[in-house]
Protein backbone atom coordinates (compact mmCIF):
# COMPACT_ATOMS: atom_id res chain seq x y z
CA UNK A 1 0.00 0.00 0.00
CA UNK A 2 1.20 3.50 -0.83
CA UNK A 3 2.37 5.12 2.41
CA UNK A 4 0.91 8.46 1.37
CA UNK A 5 -2.60 7.02 1.63
CA UNK A 6 -2.33 6.86 5.42
CA UNK A 7 0.26 9.57 6.08
CA UNK A 8 -1.17 11.92 8.73
CA UNK A 9 1.20 14.67 7.62
CA UNK A 10 -0.28 14.82 4.12
CA UNK A 11 -3.96 14.03 4.71
CA UNK A 12 -6.34 16.98 4.63
CA UNK A 13 -8.33 17.82 7.77
CA UNK A 14 -11.49 16.66 6.01
CA UNK A 15 -10.00 13.23 5.30
CA UNK A 16 -8.22 12.97 8.62
CA UNK A 17 -11.46 13.66 10.45
CA UNK A 18 -13.17 10.53 9.12
CA UNK A 19 -10.23 8.08 8.96
CA UNK A 20 -8.24 6.46 11.77
CA UNK A 21 -4.59 7.27 12.40
CA UNK A 22 -1.92 5.52 10.39
CA UNK A 23 -1.11 3.13 13.25
CA UNK A 24 -4.51 1.53 12.76
CA UNK A 25 -3.41 0.11 9.41
CA UNK A 26 -0.50 -1.88 10.82
CA UNK A 27 -1.28 -5.52 11.73
CA UNK A 28 -1.51 -6.30 15.43
CA UNK A 29 1.32 -8.80 15.02
CA UNK A 30 3.66 -5.93 14.13
CA UNK A 31 2.59 -4.01 17.21
CA UNK A 32 2.97 -7.10 19.40
CA UNK A 33 6.48 -7.80 18.16
CA UNK A 34 7.46 -4.18 18.73
CA UNK A 35 5.83 -4.20 22.18
CA UNK A 36 7.79 -7.34 23.09
CA UNK A 37 11.08 -5.74 22.06
CA UNK A 38 10.34 -2.49 23.88
CA UNK A 39 9.19 -4.32 27.02
CA UNK A 40 12.32 -6.46 27.11
CA UNK A 41 14.50 -3.36 26.84
CA UNK A 42 12.54 -1.35 29.41
CA UNK A 43 12.33 -4.15 31.97
CA UNK A 44 15.98 -5.16 31.89
CA UNK A 45 17.36 -4.43 35.36
CA UNK A 46 14.25 -2.58 36.56
CA UNK A 47 13.51 -2.87 40.26
CA UNK A 48 10.01 -1.40 39.96
CA UNK A 49 7.55 -1.81 37.10
CA UNK A 50 4.36 0.17 36.47
CA UNK A 51 1.68 -1.16 34.14
CA UNK A 52 -0.53 1.84 33.47
CA UNK A 53 -2.92 3.46 31.04
CA UNK A 54 -0.69 6.07 29.35
CA UNK A 55 -3.13 8.95 29.74
CA UNK A 56 -2.69 11.84 32.17
CA UNK A 57 -4.14 9.88 35.09
CA UNK A 58 -2.15 6.71 34.51
CA UNK A 59 1.03 8.67 33.91
CA UNK A 60 0.34 10.77 37.01
CA UNK A 61 0.55 7.53 38.98
CA UNK A 62 3.81 6.68 37.22
CA UNK A 63 5.25 10.07 38.18
CA UNK A 64 4.41 9.53 41.86
CA UNK A 65 5.91 6.03 41.83
CA UNK A 66 9.02 7.41 40.12
CA UNK A 67 9.37 9.99 42.89
CA UNK A 68 8.82 7.42 45.63
CA UNK A 69 10.95 4.60 44.23
CA UNK A 70 13.17 6.11 41.54
CA UNK A 71 16.64 7.52 41.79
CA UNK A 72 15.73 11.10 42.73
CA UNK A 73 14.83 10.99 46.38
CA UNK A 74 13.22 7.57 46.30
CA UNK A 75 14.60 4.13 47.02
CA UNK A 76 16.92 4.25 44.04
CA UNK A 77 15.30 1.57 41.86
CA UNK A 78 14.98 1.89 38.11
CA UNK A 79 11.26 2.35 37.37
CA UNK A 80 9.99 0.91 34.08
CA UNK A 81 6.67 1.74 32.43
CA UNK A 82 4.63 -0.72 30.41
CA UNK A 83 1.74 1.12 28.81
CA UNK A 84 -1.55 -0.74 28.52
CA UNK A 85 -5.16 -0.04 27.69
CA UNK A 86 -8.21 -1.90 28.95
CA UNK A 87 -8.12 -4.24 25.96
CA UNK A 88 -4.49 -5.38 26.24
CA UNK A 89 -3.98 -5.57 30.00
CA UNK A 90 -3.42 -9.37 30.03
CA UNK A 91 -0.70 -9.05 27.36
CA UNK A 92 1.04 -6.26 29.28
CA UNK A 93 1.05 -8.28 32.50
CA UNK A 94 2.34 -11.26 30.55
CA UNK A 95 5.27 -9.20 29.24
CA UNK A 96 6.19 -8.20 32.77
CA UNK A 97 6.24 -11.86 33.76
CA UNK A 98 8.30 -12.80 30.70
CA UNK A 99 10.93 -10.04 30.74
CA UNK A 100 11.20 -8.57 34.26
CA UNK A 101 13.61 -9.89 36.85
CA UNK A 102 12.09 -12.36 39.35
CA UNK A 103 10.67 -10.67 42.44
CA UNK A 104 10.35 -7.25 40.81
CA UNK A 105 7.91 -4.86 42.50
CA UNK A 106 4.88 -4.31 40.26
CA UNK A 107 2.25 -1.56 40.26
CA UNK A 108 -0.87 -1.60 38.09
CA UNK A 109 -2.52 1.81 37.72
CA UNK A 110 -5.67 3.27 36.21
CA UNK A 111 -6.82 -0.03 34.71
CA UNK A 112 -9.76 -2.29 35.47
CA UNK A 113 -10.05 -5.89 34.17
CA UNK A 114 -13.38 -6.93 32.70
CA UNK A 115 -13.37 -10.47 34.06
CA UNK A 116 -11.27 -13.04 35.90
CA UNK A 117 -9.94 -14.60 32.69
CA UNK A 118 -7.61 -11.60 32.36
CA UNK A 119 -5.83 -12.35 35.66
CA UNK A 120 -3.74 -15.42 34.81
CA UNK A 121 -0.50 -13.48 34.36
CA UNK A 122 -1.30 -11.34 37.41
CA UNK A 123 -1.49 -14.38 39.67
CA UNK A 124 1.91 -15.54 38.47
CA UNK A 125 3.40 -12.12 39.20
CA UNK A 126 1.89 -12.06 42.67
CA UNK A 127 3.38 -15.46 43.45
CA UNK A 128 6.91 -14.20 42.85
CA UNK A 129 6.81 -10.63 44.19
CA UNK A 130 4.83 -7.70 45.53
CA UNK A 131 1.99 -6.41 43.37
CA UNK A 132 -0.02 -3.27 44.17
CA UNK A 133 -2.97 -1.93 42.18
CA UNK A 134 -4.34 1.64 42.25
CA UNK A 135 -7.52 2.46 40.36
CA UNK A 136 -10.83 4.34 40.48
CA UNK A 137 -13.02 2.64 37.90
CA UNK A 138 -16.24 0.69 38.54
CA UNK A 139 -15.07 -2.80 39.56
CA UNK A 140 -17.03 -6.02 39.42
CA UNK A 141 -17.09 -7.43 42.97
CA UNK A 142 -16.03 -10.92 41.90
CA UNK A 143 -13.08 -9.60 39.90
CA UNK A 144 -11.94 -7.45 42.83
CA UNK A 145 -12.13 -10.43 45.18
CA UNK A 146 -10.07 -12.53 42.75
CA UNK A 147 -7.38 -9.85 42.53
CA UNK A 148 -7.14 -9.58 46.31
CA UNK A 149 -7.23 -13.36 46.70
CA UNK A 150 -4.14 -13.53 44.49
CA UNK A 151 -2.28 -11.51 47.13
CA UNK A 152 -2.50 -8.15 45.35
CA UNK A 153 -2.85 -4.96 47.40
CA UNK A 154 -5.82 -3.48 45.52
CA UNK A 155 -7.01 0.05 46.33
CA UNK A 156 -10.02 1.32 44.37
CA UNK A 157 -11.11 4.89 44.92
CA UNK A 158 -14.57 6.37 44.56
CA UNK A 159 -14.87 7.08 40.83
CA UNK A 160 -16.94 10.18 41.53
CA UNK A 161 -14.44 11.64 43.99
CA UNK A 162 -10.94 10.44 43.09
CA UNK A 163 -8.78 9.77 40.07
CA UNK A 164 -6.15 7.02 40.13
CA UNK A 165 -3.41 9.59 40.82
CA UNK A 166 -5.31 10.54 43.99
CA UNK A 167 -5.39 6.90 44.99
CA UNK A 168 -1.65 6.49 44.41
CA UNK A 169 -0.90 9.69 46.32
CA UNK A 170 -2.72 8.54 49.46
CA UNK A 171 -1.61 4.91 49.20
CA UNK A 172 2.14 5.32 48.77
CA UNK A 173 4.11 5.65 51.98
CA UNK A 174 6.03 8.73 50.92
CA UNK A 175 6.07 12.39 51.93
CA UNK A 176 5.22 14.04 48.61
CA UNK A 177 5.90 17.73 47.95
CA UNK A 178 2.92 20.04 47.50
CA UNK A 179 3.38 20.15 43.71
CA UNK A 180 2.48 16.46 43.50
CA UNK A 181 -0.68 17.01 45.50
CA UNK A 182 -1.45 19.80 43.07
CA UNK A 183 -0.70 17.43 40.18
CA UNK A 184 -3.24 14.94 41.55
CA UNK A 185 -5.88 17.66 41.97
CA UNK A 186 -5.46 18.97 38.42
CA UNK A 187 -5.42 15.45 37.00
CA UNK A 188 -8.65 14.75 38.88
CA UNK A 189 -10.18 17.88 37.39
CA UNK A 190 -9.74 16.42 33.92
CA UNK A 191 -10.29 12.75 34.59
CA UNK A 192 -13.55 13.30 36.48
CA UNK A 193 -14.51 15.90 33.89
CA UNK A 194 -14.93 18.69 36.43
CA UNK A 195 -13.26 21.26 34.15
CA UNK A 196 -12.69 23.83 36.89
CA UNK A 197 -8.92 24.21 36.37
CA UNK A 198 -7.65 25.26 32.91
CA UNK A 199 -4.39 23.43 33.55
CA UNK A 200 -6.17 20.09 33.36
CA UNK A 201 -6.71 20.37 29.59
CA UNK A 202 -3.00 21.08 29.23
CA UNK A 203 -2.09 17.93 31.13
CA UNK A 204 -4.51 15.83 29.10
CA UNK A 205 -3.25 17.12 25.77
CA UNK A 206 0.40 16.87 26.72
CA UNK A 207 -0.06 13.28 27.90
CA UNK A 208 -1.78 12.43 24.61
CA UNK A 209 0.79 14.01 22.31
CA UNK A 210 4.07 13.60 24.18
CA UNK A 211 6.13 10.50 24.72
CA UNK A 212 5.16 8.92 28.05
CA UNK A 213 8.67 9.26 29.47
CA UNK A 214 8.75 12.94 28.52
CA UNK A 215 5.41 13.55 30.22
CA UNK A 216 6.49 11.81 33.42
CA UNK A 217 9.81 13.67 33.51
CA UNK A 218 8.08 17.01 32.95
CA UNK A 219 5.37 16.70 35.59
CA UNK A 220 7.83 15.17 38.04
CA UNK A 221 9.90 18.34 37.77
CA UNK A 222 7.16 20.95 37.34
CA UNK A 223 3.96 19.44 38.68
CA UNK A 224 0.88 20.66 36.75
CA UNK A 225 2.46 24.02 35.86
CA UNK A 226 3.96 23.12 32.51
CA UNK A 227 6.98 25.10 31.25
CA UNK A 228 6.69 27.70 28.49
CA UNK A 229 8.15 25.49 25.80
CA UNK A 230 5.49 22.87 26.46
CA UNK A 231 2.74 25.49 26.36
CA UNK A 232 4.05 26.68 22.98
CA UNK A 233 4.08 23.11 21.70
CA UNK A 234 0.49 22.60 22.84
CA UNK A 235 -0.67 25.83 21.21
CA UNK A 236 0.78 24.69 17.88
CA UNK A 237 -0.79 21.23 18.08
CA UNK A 238 -4.17 22.66 19.03
CA UNK A 239 -4.63 24.37 15.68
CA UNK A 240 -5.33 21.01 14.06
CA UNK A 241 -7.07 19.69 17.18
CA UNK A 242 -9.59 22.55 17.12
CA UNK A 243 -10.27 21.99 13.43
CA UNK A 244 -11.06 18.31 14.05
CA UNK A 245 -13.30 19.23 16.99
CA UNK A 246 -15.21 21.68 14.83
CA UNK A 247 -15.89 19.05 12.17
CA UNK A 248 -17.16 16.54 14.76
CA UNK A 249 -19.47 19.15 16.25
CA UNK A 250 -20.79 20.16 12.83
CA UNK A 251 -21.83 16.59 12.03
CA UNK A 252 -23.44 15.93 15.44
CA UNK A 253 -27.09 14.91 15.69
CA UNK A 254 -29.37 15.07 18.71
CA UNK A 255 -32.01 12.50 19.64
CA UNK A 256 -34.41 11.99 22.53
CA UNK A 257 -34.19 8.64 24.32
CA UNK A 258 -36.59 8.32 27.23
CA UNK A 259 -35.94 11.27 29.55
CA UNK A 260 -32.53 12.04 28.04
CA UNK A 261 -31.31 14.23 25.22
CA UNK A 262 -28.38 12.42 23.59
CA UNK A 263 -25.93 13.96 21.13
CA UNK A 264 -24.11 11.58 18.81
CA UNK A 265 -21.32 12.29 16.37
CA UNK A 266 -18.37 10.72 14.56
CA UNK A 267 -14.78 11.67 13.92
CA UNK A 268 -11.18 11.61 14.96
CA UNK A 269 -11.28 14.32 17.60
CA UNK A 270 -10.80 15.18 21.27
CA UNK A 271 -13.93 13.68 22.74
CA UNK A 272 -14.01 15.74 25.93
CA UNK A 273 -14.18 19.09 24.15
CA UNK A 274 -16.78 17.80 21.71
CA UNK A 275 -18.89 16.42 24.55
CA UNK A 276 -18.55 19.67 26.49
CA UNK A 277 -19.82 21.68 23.52
CA UNK A 278 -22.75 19.32 23.02
CA UNK A 279 -23.56 19.49 26.71
CA UNK A 280 -23.53 23.29 26.57
CA UNK A 281 -25.98 22.96 23.70
CA UNK A 282 -28.44 21.07 25.88
CA UNK A 283 -27.53 17.37 25.72
CA UNK A 284 -27.61 15.17 28.80
CA UNK A 285 -25.22 12.62 27.28
CA UNK A 286 -22.88 12.47 24.29
CA UNK A 287 -21.61 9.64 22.13
CA UNK A 288 -18.48 10.24 20.05
CA UNK A 289 -17.78 7.36 17.66
CA UNK A 290 -14.18 7.17 16.48
CA UNK A 291 -12.91 6.04 13.05
CA UNK A 292 -10.91 3.24 14.70
CA UNK A 293 -14.19 1.68 15.89
CA UNK A 294 -14.24 2.68 19.54
CA UNK A 295 -16.52 5.26 21.11
CA UNK A 296 -16.54 7.63 24.07
CA UNK A 297 -19.66 8.20 26.13
CA UNK A 298 -19.89 11.33 28.26
CA UNK A 299 -22.60 12.27 30.73
CA UNK A 300 -23.70 15.17 32.89
CA UNK A 301 -25.52 15.86 36.16
CA UNK A 302 -28.64 14.69 34.32
CA UNK A 303 -27.08 11.43 33.10
CA UNK A 304 -24.70 9.46 35.31
CA UNK A 305 -25.02 6.03 33.72
CA UNK A 306 -22.32 6.09 31.03
CA UNK A 307 -20.70 2.96 32.43
CA UNK A 308 -24.03 1.10 32.22
CA UNK A 309 -24.32 1.96 28.54
CA UNK A 310 -20.69 1.00 27.84
CA UNK A 311 -20.96 -2.36 29.59
CA UNK A 312 -23.63 -3.40 27.09
CA UNK A 313 -21.29 -2.63 24.19
CA UNK A 314 -17.99 -4.25 25.14
CA UNK A 315 -16.74 -1.47 27.42
CA UNK A 316 -16.89 0.20 30.81
CA UNK A 317 -15.81 3.25 32.77
CA UNK A 318 -17.35 5.80 35.11
CA UNK A 319 -20.88 7.16 35.65
CA UNK A 320 -20.08 10.33 33.69
CA UNK A 321 -17.36 9.04 31.35
CA UNK A 322 -16.96 5.65 29.72
CA UNK A 323 -15.64 3.98 26.60
CA UNK A 324 -16.47 0.98 24.46
CA UNK A 325 -15.80 -0.75 21.16
CA UNK A 326 -18.84 -2.52 19.76
CA UNK A 327 -18.16 -6.06 18.52
CA UNK A 328 -19.38 -5.32 15.01
CA UNK A 329 -16.18 -5.39 12.95
CA UNK A 330 -15.56 -8.80 11.40
CA UNK A 331 -13.35 -7.73 8.50
CA UNK A 332 -12.06 -4.69 6.63
CA UNK A 333 -15.31 -4.36 4.69
CA UNK A 334 -17.03 -3.64 7.99
CA UNK A 335 -14.47 -0.92 8.70
CA UNK A 336 -14.88 0.48 5.19
CA UNK A 337 -18.61 0.71 5.81
CA UNK A 338 -17.89 2.32 9.19
CA UNK A 339 -15.79 5.08 7.59
CA UNK A 340 -18.05 5.69 4.61
CA UNK A 341 -21.20 5.90 6.74
CA UNK A 342 -19.50 7.83 9.55
CA UNK A 343 -20.08 5.14 12.14
CA UNK A 344 -23.74 4.41 11.37
CA UNK A 345 -23.80 0.86 12.79
CA UNK A 346 -21.79 1.76 15.90
CA UNK A 347 -24.07 4.72 16.58
CA UNK A 348 -27.14 2.52 16.24
CA UNK A 349 -25.78 -0.15 18.59
CA UNK A 350 -24.78 2.36 21.27
CA UNK A 351 -28.05 4.28 21.10
CA UNK A 352 -29.84 0.94 21.48
CA UNK A 353 -27.96 0.51 24.76
CA UNK A 354 -29.44 3.82 25.96
CA UNK A 355 -32.86 2.54 24.95
CA UNK A 356 -32.25 -0.63 26.92
CA UNK A 357 -31.75 1.47 30.07
CA UNK A 358 -35.18 2.98 29.49
CA UNK A 359 -36.64 -0.53 29.15
CA UNK A 360 -34.94 -1.63 32.36
CA UNK A 361 -36.45 1.33 34.22
CA UNK A 362 -39.87 0.57 32.76
CA UNK A 363 -39.65 -3.10 33.73
CA UNK A 364 -38.56 -2.14 37.24
CA UNK A 365 -41.53 0.22 37.58
CA UNK A 366 -43.93 -2.51 36.47
CA UNK A 367 -42.69 -4.93 39.14
CA UNK A 368 -42.97 -2.44 41.99
- H runs (alpha helix) in the chain: 13-18, 28-43, 56-69, 89-99, 120-128, 141-149, 164-171, 178-191, 199-209, 212-222, 228-250, 271-280, 306-311, 332-340, 344-367
Q: Is 139 exposed, middle or buried (0-12, 13-18, 19+ CB in 10 A)?
A: middle
Segments of the chain with pLDDT less than 50: none
Domain ranges of the chain: 44-226, 246-367
Q: Which phi and psi angles does 15 have, rounded to 5°? A: -70, -45
For domain 246-367, the CATH class is: alpha beta
The answer to whether the pTM exceeds 0.85 is: no
What would the pLDDT profile of 299-351 be if each residue is shown by its tens digit?
Answer: 999 999 999 999 999 998 888 889 999 999 999 999 999 999 999 999 999 99
User: 287-309 in b/e burial notation, b at 16+ Cβ within 10 A?
Assistant: bbbbbbbbbbbbbbeebebbbbb
For domain 44-226, give the CATH number.
Answer: 3.90.1640
What would the pLDDT profile of 106-147 be if each residue is shown by its tens digit?
Answer: 999 999 998 899 999 999 999 989 999 999 998 999 999 999
Amino acid sequence: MDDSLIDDDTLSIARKSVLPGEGFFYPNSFDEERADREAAAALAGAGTVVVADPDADGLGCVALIEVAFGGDGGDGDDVALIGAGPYDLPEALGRVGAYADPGVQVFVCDLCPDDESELVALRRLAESGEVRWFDHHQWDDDVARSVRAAGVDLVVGDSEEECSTDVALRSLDFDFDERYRDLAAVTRDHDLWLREDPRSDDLADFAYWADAAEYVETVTEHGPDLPDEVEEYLAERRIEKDALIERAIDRAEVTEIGPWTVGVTYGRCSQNEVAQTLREGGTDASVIVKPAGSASIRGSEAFERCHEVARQVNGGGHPKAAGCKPAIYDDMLDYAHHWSTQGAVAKRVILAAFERLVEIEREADETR
